[in-house]
């Protein structure tokens, strides 16, 4: 950006002489034929510097004092030429290191150097203002992303008399990529999933939105697709759902990968089918206290089908519970840099088998927060549970 210089002189010859000191390619030169005129144009053009001719010093004391005051208020340095040398009248709060006793050939060089310094300083201030504005816009975007993320969380579980559900979702301040859902697909089946998109912030949240739409039985055809024979739809098995996600969400396309555990439960028979793409292994706790991690599955989503996804089925009995959770719970640290860990989580879940699911899920996140103390959450913390009750 060019530096603007306001040259003030009622002597045309003097004005031309002052202009000749500057390179017009590097400076925008504006002239005013006297101090009174300079005061009028000053607030309109806001120059980087005001340079007075010698003729403006004598006989203009009142006007000159007003011009000096105007320049100080506007943070504009004011100089005048005295026998070919630049002298300071007002620094306007900026330390201009100009030698008033310098040789004639150096009379303008110090001024141009300081003007360049002033220009760079102003550009720095503008850049800082721009960064502050962008930071505010980013914060607003993150708030919006948080609202979007929370809006995707189901407000309440589906009404199924044979199954009880519970969950707790605690997003971190950075806006992560955790998402889960529980959706009744027909009169016999309910599907549930837990996913975690890599990274934080707005990009992760937007990928989460896209995946949720893909897994919606009303907006997509991945979890419930139409066929030509009765009942005119079919429910793809979990491994096939993950294979399809792996094809349509490659890492190269979104620069994100994600883990997901997808389950399909026949709540009338208790048959649970599942496949887990590299997420924390779901935990099955039987009514009699036996524990089992559900390990069938494969690698993360986004690798382009390098490995097939395995699928398994589990027969649930009344009182059996299944827990899904993200690594934000397991990896949360305390001030001693210790992680909450899987062992603590399993013991709390196993010890809470008599506690209603909703309360138990709340207790899990409360325990993690108590464990971490003053250490803020670095990732979303999500736990989702189901229990076959009849």
More confident: 299 or 377: 299
Nearest to 178 by CA among 196, 193, 166, 194: 196
At residue 54, the pLDDT reads 75
pLDDT in tens, 12-69: 887 887 777 676 666 788 999 888 899 999 999 888 888 887 777 766 667 878 888 8
Both structure tokens of 359: 């309360």
Phi–psi pair at 382, nearest 5 degrees: -135, 135
At residue 266, the pLDDT reads 97
More confident: 366 or 140: 366
Share of the chain above pLDDT 90, in %: 41
pLDDT in tens, 89-108: 444 333 333 333 443 444 44
CB atoms within 10 A of CB 265: 26
Domains in the chain, CATH or no CATH each = 3-124 (3.40.50.2300), 153-388 (3.60.40.10)
Both structure tokens of 62: 């009142």
- Whether the link from the prior residue into 231 is cis, omega within 30° of 0, is yes
Q: SS in 3 state form for 34-86?
A: CHHHHHHHHHHHCCCEEEECHHHCCCCHHHHHHHHHHHHHCCCCEEEEECCEE
At residue 104, the pLDDT reads 41
Contact, 294 vs 314, CB < 8 A? yes
């Amino acid at each position: 950006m060019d530096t603007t210089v306001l040259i003030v002189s009622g002597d045309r010859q003097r004005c031309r002489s002052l202009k000749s000191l500057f390179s017009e390619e590097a400076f925008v030169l504006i002239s005013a034929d006297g101090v009174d005129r300079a005061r009028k144009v000053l607030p309109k053009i806001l120059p980087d510097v005001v340079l007075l001719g010698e003729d403006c010093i004598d006989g203009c004391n009142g006007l000159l004092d007003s011009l000096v005051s105007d320049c100080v208020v506007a943070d504009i340095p004011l100089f005048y030429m005295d026998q070919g040398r630049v002298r300071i009248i007002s620094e306007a709060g900026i330390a201009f290191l100009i030698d008033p006793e310098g040789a004639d050939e150096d009379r303008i060089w110090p001024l141009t150097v300081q003007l360049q310094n002033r220009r760079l300083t102003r550009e720095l201030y503008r850049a800082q203002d721009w960064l502050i504005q962008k930071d505010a816009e980013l914060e607003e975007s993150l708030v919006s992303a948080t609202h979007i993320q929370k809006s995707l969380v189901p407000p309440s579980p589906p009404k199924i008399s044979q199954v009880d559900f519970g969950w707790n979702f605690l997003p971190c301040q950075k806006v992560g990529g955790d998402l889960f859902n529980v959706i009744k697909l027909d009169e016999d089946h309910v599907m549930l999933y837990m996913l975690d998109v890599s990274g934080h912030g707005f990009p992760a949240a937007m990928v989460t939105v896209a995946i949720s739409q893909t897994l919606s039985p009303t907006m997509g055809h991945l979890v419930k697709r139409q066929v030509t024979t009765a009942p005119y739809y079919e429910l793809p098995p979990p491994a096939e759902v993950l294979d399809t996600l792996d094809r349509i969400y490659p890492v190269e396309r979104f620069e994100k990968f994600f883990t997901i555990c997808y389950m399909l439960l026949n709540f009338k028979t208790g048959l649970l089918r599942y496949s887990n793409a590299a997420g924390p292994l779901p935990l099955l706790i039987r009514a009699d206290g036996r524990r089992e991690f559900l390990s069938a599955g494969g690698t993360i989503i986004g690798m382009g089908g390098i490995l097939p996804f395995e699928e398994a089925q589990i027969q649930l009995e009344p009182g059996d519970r299944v827990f899904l959770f993200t690594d934000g719970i397991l990896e949360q640290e305390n001030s001693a840099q210790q992680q909450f860990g899987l062992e603590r989580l399993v013991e709390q879940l196993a010890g809470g088998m008599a506690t209603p699911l909703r309360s138990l899920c709340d207790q899990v996140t409360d325990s993690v927060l108590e464990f971490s103390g003053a250490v803020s959450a670095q990732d979303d913390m999500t736990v989702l549970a189901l229990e076959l009750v009849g």
